[in-house]
Amino acid sequence: MTAPVSGSRAIVPLAKNPSMALLEEEDRSVISSIANKFQQLDERTIFSSKTLPSRILLKFFHLRSVGIEDLRRINISTNRIKQIKVQLAAGLVSVELERKASSRKARPNIRKRRRLEEGPNKAMIDAAVENFLTKHSTDVRDSDERVVRAALGCILRWTWNKAATEVECKRHGDRYGFCIRRLQTVGLRQMEELCDLGEYVQGLTVDLKAKVVRFFVLRTAAYIEDSEGLAKRRKVDN
């Protein structure tokens, strides 16, 4: 079932979905709240829902772009959200919710044993980053290698054991602009890992129409100047 999201009226089509009718009122209220937040990002947004015994899967379509700050606001709006992922290949954003505990006794859930996936190989990541920096030696200055290297390493961990992506890095004044193409899926947690590297990583946005991820990294000198300027302003204000 695909339901239109409207900010001016209640999301009536939800009640017409047989699976939605079985949900607790609290579940429907949470879904409605999340849907309206996505609609505020892009009024063309529609979504589909799938109800499972312990969770609800929502898929939001027709978003042109979404930034990490947008996803963070949606994520903190309720503690019921388990994860948010942007599926670039499919052109949608998926949200996984925990269902409200049912009064009926749940059936035991027997999970299949999964084979542990091999984690990222540090030596291979370092080699790939080194190769990238060698090819972009004219763009990346020696003083900025540390921050660019950290950002590239994070991107490689996103795509480990998955289809190869294309990473473009160009210097524009005091910052390096990154563009990631052919990325299939990226989760909010992964994007936060990149931004958590430091305040020099900024402007992370996913363009769902072009199917690319963009962000920029401040050059080391610019980042230090911005940090010193902010510290001085705080000192004056205090």
Tell me, what's the pLDDT at 207? 97
**What DSSP character marks residue 119?**
P
Report the chain (238 residues): mean pLDDT per 10 consecutive residues. Answer: 45 47 81 95 93 93 96 96 96 94 52 57 88 89 90 90 86 93 95 94 96 93 56 48
Q: Phi, psi at residue 136, to the nearest 5°?
A: -110, 30
Query: Could you give the CA distance from residue 97 to residue 100 in angstroms, rounded to a whole number?
Result: 9
Q: Cβ neighbours of residue 98 under 8 Å, at least 6 residues apart?
A: 54, 55, 56, 80, 81, 82
Tell me, what's the pLDDT at 13? 44
Please, which residues bridge with residue 87 across strands? 92, 185
Tell me, what's the pLDDT at 163? 77
Which among 122, 129, 173 is positioned nearest to 147, based on CA atoms?
129
Q: Is 136 left (phi over 0), alpha (psi -120 to 50) or beta?
A: alpha
Task: Read off the tokens for 74.
Answer: 């949606």
Query: Could you give the CA distance from residue 104 to residue 36 in angstroms, rounded to a whole number?
Result: 30
Tell me, what's the pLDDT at 143? 87
Tell me, what's the pLDDT at 115? 52
Tell me, what's the pLDDT at 108? 54
Tell me, what's the pLDDT at 103? 38
Helices (H), 22-117: 25-41, 68-75
Which among 3, 22, 23 is positioned nearest to 13, based on CA atoms?
3
Terminal-residue alpha carbon distance, the chain: 55
Domains defined for the chain, CATH in brackets: 2-98 (3.30.980), 122-227 (3.30.980)
Tracing tokens 């940090």 back to the chain, one arrives at: 227
Tell me, what's the pLDDT at 7? 43
Task: Read off the tokens for 4.
Answer: 């239109």
pTM of the model: 0.78
